[in-house]
Amino acid sequence: MDTENFYSKSQRISSPSKRIGYFKIWSGIGLLIYTIALSGNIQSFINVFHEEDPFSLFVYGGNCLVLMITFFTGVSFILSGIISTKRVTITPEIPSPFKHYVSIFDNLLNGKLEIYKFPDYGPLKIAFNYVSDKIPYLTPPKRKIVSKNVSLARNALLLALIVMAFVLFQKLVPESFYQEFYIERIIFRFPFVFFGILLLLAGISFYSIILMIPENIPRQTVSENFATINGGGDPNSIFPAINKLFNEFRYNALPNYSFKSGFAKIEDLSFNETGSYDGKLAVETHPQYIGNNENDIIPNIYLLLAAFSLITSLINFALMVVEPGPDIIQSYLGNFFAGLIFLYLAGSFISRAFILNNIFKYDSVFTFIDVSGSIGKSEITAGKAITDSIETKNVVIRSDSQFRIYTTRFLSESYSLNGSRYVTAMITDDNIHLITEKLLQTINNFKAEGVSVRGIDISSESLNQITRANLLIHDSRKNTKSLPPSPDQKAIQSKSNESINTVSSQDSTDVKECPRCAETIKARAKMCRFCNFEFPVN
């Protein structure tokens, strides 16, 4: 492989998620600084461990757990952020061809893309019913984010209702119940601040769904044409011609992606046999990377929500009390779980922004040709005439074919560098019309070439030369017979006459002449052994 030529076709681009990577690095650094600032809790935990103070052991043990969580979260943010900021190399093998051409064919035949589906149930169905009827026309990353946002809003409301019901229930428990079991009454207050912030985050993320709704339905147009070829040659020969045509439109001299299925194998056909065949051809120019032109507002919103959630999480961790009292359970455990929830939301919002940015978009030209018809193979014999001692056998292929041609421009996406591609739009423009015209011209050329001759023993030019040579030989023999015999010829003739006299001469009635090739054959023959001419039976 020519390494220099290979890398000259590679494309070096900035990572689509570069901005998200920097945000994660700075967030990770902030978490590590917070961990270092509160690292004194580790020494306090060691000290109280020997004093056998259960309350202090519980408090400082919880604080150490928080430090471990923030430390490992910060390290993971920094490492993943560094990876996201690296430049990306798109080699000639990227993106790969479509793995499932059958679904691509169905998209073209039906004039719609499989990637867009109407939701039947779940969060997407809720968004379809209450937000917009264009939810089915979102790409998979956006559908995933919409599902997360709807689930967040639903779960936040459900959690608020459960906590509110618990608070109301504990207020309805009479004082005599606690006195009977000698239990000190504990009053739980509804955490208005926590749920206020949680519902605010859920509401903003839910509102972002509206910003992701496409203004127009993605274009799904295909140029469809038909052609009928009667008296054509081997249909397998049309495939390399179409491949060659697409070389004029390929990107950066990169090879086209091609697919072929079906078609009759000429070797499987018997002579003078006619059968039906069908086949599919697909050619796609190498996809060209066109970048990610998504709306930057939505990822920025999620980054702001992530930053706010992260700060809120650290504040809740810092408010964990260290003094015993009647509110220890709610103030300590409440802040602990609130900090974990907001820390989780921070990572979730960063993930949303990453999904929207880490998209690789490509542009390519695609054609799909569905061919069906009949095909036959015959053997034609030439030569073996009165003036020709050479016989040649030729295999002739004849086909009658119907072509259905679909041409379009694909806009496709992959959600990782080496991930599978999904077609997001099909467009027809002036370039597609030009390609379609050239495809039809290529098929017409296939018709103009006529039947295909295969397995020729002697070419037509050589056959003509041999025929002329045979004619010259016949003329030379005639001229030789007209000259007087020489003395040597007379001596040879006298010796040959002795042997000829011993053999009875052949009666002229025992032979006949073939009307097609003028060869002399036996009178009782029913078929000429030279040209296979059948004599009529009297």
The 3-class secondary structure across 466-528, one letter per residue, is: HHHHHHHHHHHHHHHHHCCCCHHHHHHHHHHHHHHHHCCCCCHHHEEECCCCCCEEECCCCEC
Same domain, 138 and 197: yes
In a domain, 217, yes or no: no
In the chain, what's the furthest Cα-to-Cα distance?
Answer: 156
- The residue-averaged pLDDT of 121-141 equals 90
- The residue-averaged pLDDT of 498-517 equals 58
Same domain, 265 and 311: no
SS percent in the chain: helix, strand, coil, step 5: 55, 20, 30
- The residue-averaged pLDDT of 14-23 equals 91
- The residue-averaged pLDDT of 154-181 equals 83
CA pair distance 198, 193, nearest whole angstrom: 9
In a domain, 9, yes or no: yes
54 upstream amide cis, omega within 30 of 0: no
Same domain, 450 and 323: no
DSSP string, 43-62: HHHHHHHHHT-HHHHHHHHH
Reported as a pLDDT band with limits 50, 70 and 90, residue 355 is very high
Same domain, 175 and 72: yes
Q: What's the CA angle centered on 372, arms 370 and 373, to 5 degrees?
A: 160
- Is a pLDDT exceeding 80 seen at residue 278? yes
User: Who has greater pLDDT, 278 or 185?
Assistant: 278
pLDDT in tens, 417-448: 888 888 999 999 998 999 999 999 888 887 76
**How high is the pLDDT of residue 503?**
41
Q: Which residues contact 75 (CB under 8 A, 6 or more apart)?
A: 28, 32
Reported as a pLDDT band with limits 50, 70 and 90, residue 464 is low
Same domain, 36 and 182: yes
- The residue-averaged pLDDT of 379-392 equals 56
Last residue of a domain, one of 387, 420, 454: 454
- Is a pLDDT exceeding 50 seen at residue 279? yes
Same domain, 344 and 445: no
Other beta carbons within 10 angstroms of residue 87's beta carbon come to 9
Beta strands 391-414 and 223-232, pairing class? antiparallel
| Highest mean pLDDT, choosing among 62-66, 72-76, 494-498, 510-514 | 72-76
CA pair distance 128, 132, nearest whole angstrom: 5
Mean pLDDT in the chain? 79
In a domain, 101, yes or no: no
- Is a pLDDT exceeding 70 seen at residue 309? yes
User: Who has greater pLDDT, 215 or 145?
Assistant: 145
Contact between 456 and 238 under an 8 Å Cβ cutoff? The reply is no
Same domain, 177 and 56: yes
In a domain, 470, yes or no: no
- Is a pLDDT exceeding 60 seen at residue 506? no
**How high is the pLDDT of residue 392?**
62
Residue-number span of the structural domain to which 331 is assigned: 3-96+118-201+295-359
Q: What percent of the chain has pLDDT over 70?
A: 74
**How high is the pLDDT of residue 42?**
63
Structural tokens at position 347: 């990572």
**How high is the pLDDT of residue 273?**
67
Shortest CA distance to 426 belongs to which of 413, 409, 412? 409
Same domain, 142 and 285: no
For 13, phi then psi, to 5°, come to: -130, 160
| Highest mean pLDDT, choosing among 126-140, 268-282, 372-386 | 126-140
In a domain, 91, yes or no: yes
**How high is the pLDDT of residue 218?**
86
Total count of domains within the chain: 2
In a domain, 28, yes or no: yes
Q: Which residues contact 10 (CB under 8 A, 6 or more apart)?
A: 89, 90, 91, 92
User: Who has greater pLDDT, 463 or 195?
Assistant: 195
Same domain, 175 and 257: no
In a domain, 472, yes or no: no
**How high is the pLDDT of residue 499?**
46
Same domain, 175 and 231: no
Structural tokens at position 233: 């040659």
Task: Flag the least confident range among 40-44, 116-120, 468-472.
Answer: 468-472
Same domain, 61 and 193: yes
- The residue-averaged pLDDT of 180-208 equals 83
CA pair distance 490, 477, nearest whole angstrom: 18
Same domain, 301 and 342: yes
- The residue-averaged pLDDT of 20-45 equals 85
DSSP string, 78-115: HHHHHHHHS-EEE-TT-SPPPS-HHHHHHHHHHTS-TT
In a domain, 10, yes or no: yes
**How high is the pLDDT of residue 505?**
46
Angle between helices 123-130 and 140-172 (to 10 degrees): 90
Contact between 480 and 421 under an 8 Å Cβ cutoff? The reply is no
pLDDT in tens, 322-338: 565 556 666 788 888 99
